[in-house]
Structure 1
Amino acid sequence: MKKLMTAEDLTKIVSVSHPVYSPDGKKAVFTKVTVNDKKDDYNIHLWVRDEETEELSQWTFEEGKHYQPVWSKDSRQLAFILQKPKEAPQLALIQCEGGGVRTLTAIPYGVSHPVFSLDGAFIYAAVSLKPSESVHDEKKEERDEFAPAVYDDLTYKADGRGFLDGRFTQIILVNVHSGEIEAVTSGQHHHVNHTLSPCGKWLAYIQSNPQKPYISDVCLRSLEDGTTKKITQSSGAYSTVSFAPNGESLVYIGHEREFQNATFPALWLYDLKEGNVVQLSEMLDMYVGNCMAGDSFMGEANQLPQWTKDSQGFYALVSDQGSTGIYYFSVEGLAYPVRLEAEHITNFSLHPDESKMLLSRLSPVSPSELCEMTLGEADLKQITFEHDEFLKEHVLSVPEPFSFQSKEGVEVHGWFMKPSEMEEGKTYPLILEIHGGPHAMYGYTYFHEFQMLAAEGYAIVYINPHGSHGYGQMFTDHVRGSYGGVDYEDVMQAVDHVLKAYDFLDETRLGVTGGSYGGFMTNWIVGQTDRFRAAVTQRSISNWISFYGISDIGYYFTRWQIEGDIYDSADKLWDRSPLKYVKQVNTPLLILHSDEDYRCPVDQAEQLFVALKELGKDTRLVKFPKASHDLSRSGHPGQRIQRLTFIKDWFREKLK
């Protein structure tokens, strides 16, 4: 007899990620992320596939995280980042003929993003340093825990990193043989996502000033004379850069902030000889990259475009209509889908002979697995089978896509999940799930929270309301300045739609939950209607006026998204704040929040909780110590299970 999905089953999910073919095409490395035996952290190990025998073998075994693998040009060395438990991440190396893991650095501030020189004798990497610190320091300076912290900059904290201490990401060069290190960049800018030109003469990277949010530049540094030039004009936000094999051009991903942080990333082609730039994806009203919301995948997020050998085009991820797949783009600006199915591709690697790809793939009924795709063929060949037994022994609810016309006459896309087990003639409660962002996308991916709730006997509805990615730039931008307007109408209309379509739903037992923007929407909904019998708000926003000053992004996010500030439009911010409507809340509300969430700080939860409690409302506050805004996706495994359990128990109690 099959089992029902539980919160604890989260620990059985493996993230299979980051496939990278060796330059000679004989091997491919990939990573596996698993929950460790103590269930208090994650292990990441490197696995290698022999392309001739198709044999899979594990290459790292030590406790800790082994990630960001990169091959030398001759395919004889594999560099990666090794983070042992409670230690800073370091640069490590494996000789492919054997010899085990060799750690190359002992920098107390940690290392990331290895890139080999052409001859394999050096590795470019990144380190975060204060101006007073050096890569040659043997240990971090001990800080007096009672010493005052002094800040002069507007950006002084960041979610997941805490309060900042003046560090900037710099590029370094490490000698593979001697371990000697020299600095490549310096100054009060971050230098990230570096890549080397095929001729070895240029280093391209993204440069940003942390005091100018959403402003970054693509830079080219000459490795011959050390001069640097900016390709972009300090007016947009860019993330990724990749050289063509012939070295004559490069492609980079980003945007000119036409719609602030709601702007779709675009593809830009830069001619190194002529110095001119062309936007390749101008006619493609799609999101270039992966914007899928989920809770069951951990791994590399930065997917480089994969060039063809002739330098006439490349492959890149594209998200559209709830799917994330792969498109081919030519340097002339033509674009077509190579694979865009009802699935979630997180990253991929093109074989050197261009006959096939390895890709990491999730579906609505399977966490990530590695698959091989022969170009020109529709079928995939599954390479890993991490979840076969797990899926065979559990009952799964299969999401059913649907759409409806919004009140503005625009098609809105969503999914409905039936309870995992159903009895004839019985009615079931319905839970509305709302994603964060708001500029993210629900879609064809595995969502463990949804499967757990379906196993508890709930039907689930989730949609991509106005503001979501994946449905065109205007659809995404439409919510800015009107949170709680058309988006509220969309989610309520979705509830109406499924209640009408499925006669086994009990309209008197409705629940709602969401995180971040979805938490804001949950707070907003219970202040506008008594339609829901239970609600769970997670890492939410309740007060835009206080959010402006306490969030790491508050001062610009509020201006861009609510289109107001605390100086001249505080009334508008208050009018959009769920806290204003707290007297109207009659729905029992569970408030879940991370203590070290600097994106939507815990003050937002506490203000809401105090107001509800003072008014005698049915509410409970749960705080997760040492957790960030990213708790549900990559937080402490035990806390992720506890979070799911709190949600399950609240709905079980209130939706009887």
Structure 2
Amino acid sequence: MRSHDIEALVSVGRPAVAPDGSFTVFATSRPDIAANRNVGQLWRIDLPDGAPRRLTRGTSDTAPRLSPDGTRIAFLRGDAKGKPQVHVVDAAGGEPVQATDAVLGVEDYAWSPDGATIAYLARVPEKGRYGSVEGLDASAEAPRHITGIRWHANGMGYVADRPAHVFVIAAPATDSEPFYEPAAAVLPDDTTTPKKTLVAAEARPLTEGTTSHSGLAFTADGRDLLTVPDDIEPDRRDLRSRVVAIAVDGSGEREVLGTDAGLSLYGLEVAPDGAIAMLAHEVGDGVDFVAPGVGLWLLDADGPRRLTDAETIDLGEVGSHITPSGDDFLVQDRTRGRVRLVRVSRAGELTEVLGDEVEVNGHAAGGGRIVASVARPESYGELVLFDGDDARPLTTFGAAAAASGIVLPTELTVTGRDGYPVHGWVATPEGEGPFPVILQIHGGPYAAYGIHLFDETQVLVDAGYAVVYCNPRGSAGYGRAHGRSIRREMGTVDFADVIDFLEGAIADDERLDGERVGIQGGSYGGYLTAWVIAHDHRFAGAIVERGFLEPQSFQGTSDIGSFFGDEYVGVSADDIARQSPMAVVGQVTTPTLVLHSELDFRCPLEQATRYYTALKRQGTEAAMLVFPGENHELTRSGQPRHRVQRFEAVLDWWRRHLPVG
């Protein structure tokens, strides 16, 4: 595939299934280069044999959720200012009705058990900030008084001055009379034309103050809302979570789970019988998050109880969520580049529902049927139906990407220098070669390359390169010990693993030219790329993208700087220097392209500029490309034109430093 073929990458979001299993609804999303944004709508499929039918025609309709009786669909759609608001449409289709009018948009929402109410989370700005006062420019706002250990977040910016609060609002009727634009008039009280009415009901806040909230789940009786409060710590980061139950009638709140439980929450769900299920991990001293072993927990009367094994089952960071199914729960487990769907009983018994060559992104159940959104080696996103014993596809969105020309990678395991098995893949162009080789390194580090159709690999293969990529120690999906092996030992066994895999892949396939190799990676992959080229000079060129390059300054600039570097590289000056790419930048002779985004608050821009400047000052060939308006997620959800321009820059760099043929 070519760079502009990213338009064929259709992702399928988390589905919803009618209570009787008669139909499913879901949202799709894809990059649109002309519109320069991701676009998508809602779809419906009547089960078991219906064809996909587009249900809405918005620009970017997302996150559909069915009312408890299955007659209405709530979803998020941008309003006139582009802020996501809850809309409701009849499950059979029709014109959606706007339900919320939050100043900064809605972050999350939930139906009440009786379908009469919608609860939602929305950020409330301090007066005068973020356009809340017409005509007040951001540069003229009052100064921000910061006293806590956190103040910003990647993809958003400042956080303390816009906490997320819980609201409830009456769900609108889908057949109600529309609101009409008022005509110009002078009213008796000397005011002029009234504002147009946008929503039928007034939202009622259930929380206020500086505490922010995340996650929403109604209790089974509908009387309370479960949510996770988030207070910015004054001095030291604390990843332990609390859960509170807020009375819907406004009569107060009570704590359901305290920080003394020592859990950090990733997800929360209430089963029809009232059981509270959580995705969480034990956080030890409050900041030990490395390879956390996220598992499924039940909140029993005497406290939380883990249902899955912390060492071998990993339910985190893949869009994970919980689906109640009978007395059991459906969750996603990532393992060896796959993400399988598993069923977990309340006794902790685990059975696989959907596995093999898939990465499950979302799931839903109803009427004895299970529907899942998945990615495959030949498709970025599809919907599948599990009805009994077999899973069968319901969509063919991957056909467009397949038509653009894709290569199916070959799986490979290489025995490393210390006998450790390193697992990964090799993707090669058609033909006899020899092909120049590019070593790709993923971010994280507790993340993983998977089997799904990956545009970054496919574009390089189309240009004539063999691409080698693996999941070295430190990655997710191979057990907790594998993930924790580089804690405060970065640049050790992970360095060995990627080099050993590269050499093993070249030895395994004579078409790969071991004399012509390049290396690239993003985030932690940027870190390890910078580390490798300081210690191994075989590479014709390197691309260091959105890298974690200077742990010392990262501590005071990154949105996760208050704990990430401390846990991964330690806190002493010696430990930091021992694992810092900036400390060894003087050893780099490889021509290096530095890619970064202007609004990256995860790995801030100063990480790139300091590294680039050091390369230039010592005479190492280097160039830097900075993308305006983008954050850490450029390659995944950035503006499509920027994504294409990035591909063009990457290919141009390799054409000049690692030419094909």
Q: TM-score, normalized by length of structure 1?
A: 0.90
Matched, 1:359 2:376: no
- Secondary structure at 2:40's aligned position in 1? strand
Aligned to 1:305: 322
- Structure-1 separation of matches of 2:123 and 2:90: 27
Residue 103 of structure 1 and its aligned partner are, at CA, apart by 1.0
> Which of 371, 381, 401 is the matching residue for 1:368?
381
Aligned to 2:330: 315
1:79-114, CA deviations, whole angstroms, 9 ceiling, x for partnerless residues? 111114642211211133655111122222211322
- Structure-1 separation of matches of 2:441 and 2:48: 45
Residue 509 of structure 1 and its aligned partner are, at CA, apart by 0.6
Matched, 1:9 2:5: yes
Residue 451 of structure 1 and its aligned partner are, at CA, apart by 0.7
Question: Could you say if the C-alpha distance between residues 61 and 79 of structure 1 is closer, same or farther in structure 2, counting changes exceeding 3 Å?
Answer: same
Residue 163 of structure 1 and its aligned partner are, at CA, apart by 2.9
Question: Could you say if the C-alpha distance between residues 546 and 52 of structure 1 is closer, same or farther in structure 2, counting changes exceeding 3 Å?
Answer: closer
Question: Could you say if the C-alpha distance between residues 360 and 226 of structure 1 is closer, same or farther in structure 2, counting changes exceeding 3 Å?
Answer: same
1:132-170, CA deviations, whole angstroms, 9 ceiling, x for partnerless residues? 599xx9867834514444322221111111233522111
Q: Does the 8 Å contact 1:40/1:636 carry over to 2?
A: yes
Matched, 1:256 2:265: no
Aligned to 1:94: 89
* Paired residue type of 1:367: Y
Aligned to 2:657: 654
Return 5+ residue gaps in structure 2 as ranges.
Answer: 173-199
Aligned to 1:18: 14
- Secondary structure at 2:564's aligned position in 1? helix
* Paired residue type of 2:322: P
* Paired residue type of 1:145: S
Residue 365 of structure 1 and its aligned partner are, at CA, apart by 2.2
* Paired residue type of 2:171: V
Question: Could you say if the C-alpha distance between residues 118 and 623 of structure 1 is closer, same or farther in structure 2, counting changes exceeding 3 Å?
Answer: same
Residue 530 of structure 1 and its aligned partner are, at CA, apart by 0.6
Identity of counterpart residues, as a percentage? Answer: 28
* Paired residue type of 1:649: D
- Structure-2 separation of matches of 1:639 and 1:116: 37
Q: Does the 8 Å contact 2:160/2:210 carry over to 1?
A: no
Matched, 1:215 2:240: yes
Matched, 1:383 2:397: no
Aligned to 2:593: 590
1:595-649, CA deviations, whole angstroms, 9 ceiling, x for partnerless residues? 1111111111111111111122111011001110110000111111111111111
Matched, 1:142 2:168: no
Corresponding residue pairs, total: 623
Matched, 1:332 2:326: no
1:211-259, CA deviations, whole angstroms, 9 ceiling, x for partnerless residues? 3452322333344643321324253310211122212x21101111144
* Paired residue type of 2:637: S
Aligned to 2:177: none
CA RMSD of aligned residues (A): 2.2
- Structure-1 separation of matches of 2:49 and 2:425: 41
- Structure-1 separation of matches of 2:253 and 2:317: 34
Question: Could you say if the C-alpha distance between residues 283 and 487 of structure 1 is closer, same or farther in structure 2, counting changes exceeding 3 Å?
Answer: closer
Aligned to 2:186: none
- Secondary structure at 1:278's aligned position in 2? strand
- Structure-2 separation of matches of 1:435 and 1:507: 21
Q: TM-score, normalized by length of structure 2?
A: 0.90
Aligned to 2:112: 117
Matched, 1:405 2:429: no
* Paired residue type of 1:362: A
- Structure-1 separation of matches of 2:656 and 2:132: 55
Matched, 1:600 2:603: yes
Residue 344 of structure 1 and its aligned partner are, at CA, apart by 0.9
Q: Does the 8 Å contact 1:109/1:140 carry over to 2?
A: no
- Secondary structure at 1:469's aligned position in 2? coil
- Secondary structure at 2:139's aligned position in 1? coil
* Paired residue type of 2:313: M
Matched, 1:551 2:546: no
* Paired residue type of 1:334: E
> Which of 16, 37, 45 is the matching residue for 1:41?
37
Residue 376 of structure 1 and its aligned partner are, at CA, apart by 1.9
Residue 45 of structure 1 and its aligned partner are, at CA, apart by 0.8
Aligned to 2:492: 485
* Paired residue type of 1:125: Y
Matched, 1:282 2:278: no
Aligned to 2:270: 243
- Structure-2 separation of matches of 1:534 and 1:124: 52
- Structure-2 separation of matches of 1:290 and 1:546: 26
Aligned to 1:504: 511
After superposition, residues 434-583 of structure 1 pair within 5 angstroms as 434-564=441-571, 569-583=572-586
Q: Does the 8 Å contact 1:107/1:138 carry over to 2?
A: no
Range that drifts further, 319-328 or 17-26: 17-26
- Structure-2 separation of matches of 1:79 and 1:232: 32
- Structure-2 separation of matches of 1:221 and 1:408: 54
